[in-house]
Amino acid sequence: MINLILFGPPGSGKGTQAVKLAEHFNLLHISTGDLFRNEMKNETPLGLEAKSYISKGELVPDEVTIGMLSNKVDENIGKVDGFIFDGFPRTEPQAEALDKLLTLKNTEITKVLALDVPEEEIVGRILERAKTSGRADDADETIIRNRFNIYLNETAQVADHYKKVDKFVALDGVGTIESIFEALKAEIEK
């Protein structure tokens, strides 16, 4: 199996690249943000709980997020050549839970690919997307900057978890979507 994590701040292009990589390498793309948005759309209890955090740009509690992610992996293991995780793990407990989950399935993370994009570029991209996304967390610059700060304060250190085991690779996330896709593919094929 190939199990990838796409890592990086909000708006860095994780979702855009994950869709392309999933198709190219025949992996299942799992975005915890997309899963939460689907639950919110369907107004499930999980969606209603998640909404109170997401609308402010804050992280949904670990136990909720880990449970949802574990279910998704359980449902699909054996059906695909691997997974591409987008927006998960975002905290050290999430990284530890993912390690355990994959070990139980006799597999592991292959590589973590991080997209480096500066804050001002991110704010510009997300405000542009806000015109069409309908995402409450895209529309307000204060919330976008809060998401970026939460990334710096709560998520960025997850990189160390994977640096310790030599699985972390950072790439420039500024450039054309195609050029970044080529760089990611080259890194995966190494």
Residues in the site for ligand AP5, rule: CB under 6 A?
Answer: 8, 10-16, 32-33, 36, 53-54, 57-60, 65, 87-88, 90, 94, 125, 129, 137, 147, 175, 177, 180
In the annotation, is 37 catalytic? no
Q: Confirm whether 125 is a catalytic residue.
A: no
- Which of 2, 15, 93, 129 forms a contact with Mg ion (CB under 5 A)? 15
What residues contact 160, with CB distance under 8 A and at least 6 apart?
Answer: none
Query: Contact region for Mg ion (CB under 5 A) — 8-16, 36-44, 123-131, 154-162?
Result: 8-16
Q: Shortest CA distance to 37 belongs to which of 29, 28, 45, 47?
A: 47
Catalytic residue among 129, 145, 167, 185: 129
Catalytic annotation on 90? yes
Q: Please, what is the minimum distance in Å from the beta carbon of residue 152 to Mg ion? A: 18
By a kind-dependent CB cut-off of 5 to 8 A, residue 32 interacts, out of Mg ion, ligand AP5, none, with ligand AP5
Instruction: Tokens for 109, please give them.
Output: 């993370």
Query: How big is the chain by its Cα radius of gyration, in Å?
Result: 16
- Shortest Cβ contact with ligand AP5: which residue? 33
Q: To the nearest whole angstrom, how small is the minimum distance from the Cβ of residue 33 to Mg ion?
A: 5
Fill in the amino acid letter for 20: K
In the bound state with ligand AP5, the residue whose beta carbon lies nearer, of 22 and 54, is: 54
Shortest spacing between CB 153 and ligand AP5, in angstroms: 13
Which residue, 103 or 149, is less far from Mg ion as judged by CB?
Answer: 149
Catalytic residues: 14, 90, 129, 135, 147
